[in-house]
Amino acid sequence: MSHLILTTFRTMLKKWFLSNNAVVCFITTKSTTPKFNNPLLHQFPISPRRFCTITATSESNTHPFSVSYLINNFGFSHESALKAFNNKQVRFNTPDNADSVITFFQNHGFPNSNIRIIIQKAPWLLSSQPHKRLLPKFQFFLSNGASLSDIVPLLTTNPRILRSSLEKQIIPLFQLLSRCLKTNRDAIICLIKHWTTFTIYYHLIVANINLMADFGIPHSVIARLIRSRPFLICSKDLINSLEEIKGLGFDPSTTTFGYALLANNCTSKKLWDEKVDVLKKWGWSDEDVIRAFRCHPDMMLTSIEKINLVMSFWVNQLGWDSLALTKRPHILTHSLEKWIVPRGLVVQFLLMKGLRKKNASLVTPFRYSEKLFLEKFVFSFKEESDYLLKIYEEKIKLAYTMENNGMPFPN
């Protein structure tokens, strides 16, 4: 009787599975899952037993070895791991070579967290031969002054350089940069940091560096532009920008020329005109704008919102003439909360108490370091120094508090 019941149950169960077009399977690592003997395994452990359902039309519920390796060891999603496999970035059937890549990075000072980021960005590295493809590049970087502490964060951010040819790409670009930058170390750091830009626009960069040198721009200025704004060196109409800045009265042989070139290229014509219109609304003329720009080109990198905030505080709250800022336009580039407001309130108090001459320069107090400012405009007035210091420190403290809390500064 019991045998008949069991047979009947099996028949019903079989019909149910067939009607649902599905099977149930238990997969154990012993029979189907390869063993991963690598240092990161403890961070991304493989489950010893999995439960899955697959349709009868599916060919297999198992992944290629390299796909499972990415999923289990580096947190890849199923889709991203398959994409790396289908794009032929990773295709290997044993963990040996991939483990040797991980070991290579660990031996060169890369924490496991950095290695995970690198592999997520460049999974193809797991298929490379570390001593043939990676070691020569590391030796080149280190032999030219870069340290592991330099290389680790740079390559974590941009591992793409490790895919390039040392002889055909890396060394020629290094030689180009080393002619402009002060040290080989600077060249290596710049090379890795901006590798993608340099490789895409290599020929244009070579031409523009030669153009700037012929235009009379010092190597120190060219170097600063390469390090801080490599996109400028990739400009297809750089000659027009050079001529425009020279036409505004800037001398190409000065460092100010480089700042003006940068400010001009970082600001579209539309945005430039909008900033000029804002300054004119606060009483400046076109000539005032040009004169201020010649004095401190970085002023035109100030946002429209900040220009309005500074002008509102200067004119409406302090009651001062906006034209005073044309003499020291660098004030617009300072922090409103930590620099302009605390100093402005101190100077305003001194003027109200008659402790500072009314015809004295309004902008001079804003050019000193904090130490000199406190000595000249706070501590030199012994009777009022405690109150002046309180005004100053309260605004500084408020600025940092509002910044830490992500709140706007109340003027």
- The torsion angle over the Cα atoms of residues 188, 189, 195 and 201, rounded to 10 degrees, is -80
User: Do 120 and 149 belong to one domain?
Assistant: no
Nearest CA to 50 out of 70, 72, 67 is that of: 72
Q: Give pLDDT tens digits along the chain (411 positions).
A: 445 444 554 555 444 444 444 433 333 333 333 444 444 544 443 322 222 222 222 323 456 888 888 888 888 888 888 887 777 788 878 889 999 999 999 999 999 999 999 998 999 999 899 999 999 999 999 999 999 999 999 999 999 999 999 999 999 999 989 988 889 999 999 999 999 999 899 899 999 999 999 999 998 899 989 988 888 888 888 999 999 999 999 999 999 999 999 998 888 999 999 999 999 999 999 999 999 999 999 999 999 999 999 999 999 999 999 999 999 999 999 999 999 999 999 999 999 999 999 889 999 999 999 999 999 999 999 999 999 999 999 999 888 876 676 655 555
User: Do 196 and 239 belong to one domain?
Assistant: yes
Return the sign of the alpha-carbon dihedral for residues 82, 83, 84, 89. positive
Among 242, 266, 290, the domain-final residue is 266
Residue 113 CA to its chain's centroid (Å): 19
Q: Which pLDDT score is estimated for 7?
A: 52
Among 128, 149, 164, the domain-final residue is 128
User: Do 229 and 154 belong to one domain?
Assistant: yes
Amino acid at 389: L
181 falls within a domain? yes
Q: Which pLDDT score is estimated for 28?
A: 35
User: Do 164 and 253 belong to one domain?
Assistant: yes
325 falls within a domain? no
Residue with tokens 């890369």, as numbered in its chain: 110
User: Do 70 and 174 belong to one domain?
Assistant: no
Among 241, 266, 291, the domain-final residue is 266
User: Do 154 and 234 belong to one domain?
Assistant: yes
Q: Which pLDDT score is estimated for 353?
A: 93
How many other C-beta atoms can be found within 10 angstroms of the C-beta atom of residue 276?
18
| Alpha carbon distance 279, 335 (integer Å) | 18
The string of pLDDT tens digits covering residues 38-58 is 445 444 433 222 222 222 223
User: Do 120 and 157 belong to one domain?
Assistant: no
Residue 208, both tokens? 């523009």
User: Do 193 and 259 belong to one domain?
Assistant: yes
Instruction: Report H helices in 65-157.
Output: 65-74, 78-86, 96-107, 112-121, 135-143, 148-157
- Left if phi > 0, otherwise alpha if psi is -120 to 50, otherwise beta: which for 259? alpha
Domain extent for 122: 64-128
Contacts of 42 (CB under 8 A, 6+ apart): none
194 falls within a domain? yes
Contacts of 12 (CB under 8 A, 6+ apart): none
Return the sign of the alpha-carbon dihedral for residues 312, 317, 323, 325. negative
| Alpha carbon distance 325, 327 (integer Å) | 5
Give the helix/strand (H/E) hosting 50.
strand 49-55
User: Do 73 and 152 belong to one domain?
Assistant: no
What does the radius of gyration of the chain's CA atoms come to, in whole angstroms? Answer: 32
Q: Which pLDDT score is estimated for 23?
A: 37
For residue 50, list its beta bridge partners.
27
| Alpha carbon distance 211, 204 (integer Å) | 10
Q: Which pLDDT score is estimated for 62?
A: 58
User: Do 116 and 158 belong to one domain?
Assistant: no
Q: Which pLDDT score is estimated for 276?
A: 96
| Alpha carbon distance 232, 209 (integer Å) | 11
User: Do 117 and 188 belong to one domain?
Assistant: no
405 falls within a domain? no
Q: Which pLDDT score is estimated for 90?
A: 81
Domain count, the chain: 2
| Alpha carbon distance 64, 3 (integer Å) | 43
Q: Which pLDDT score is estimated for 76?
A: 85
Q: Which pLDDT score is estimated for 45?
A: 37
User: Do 90 and 166 belong to one domain?
Assistant: no
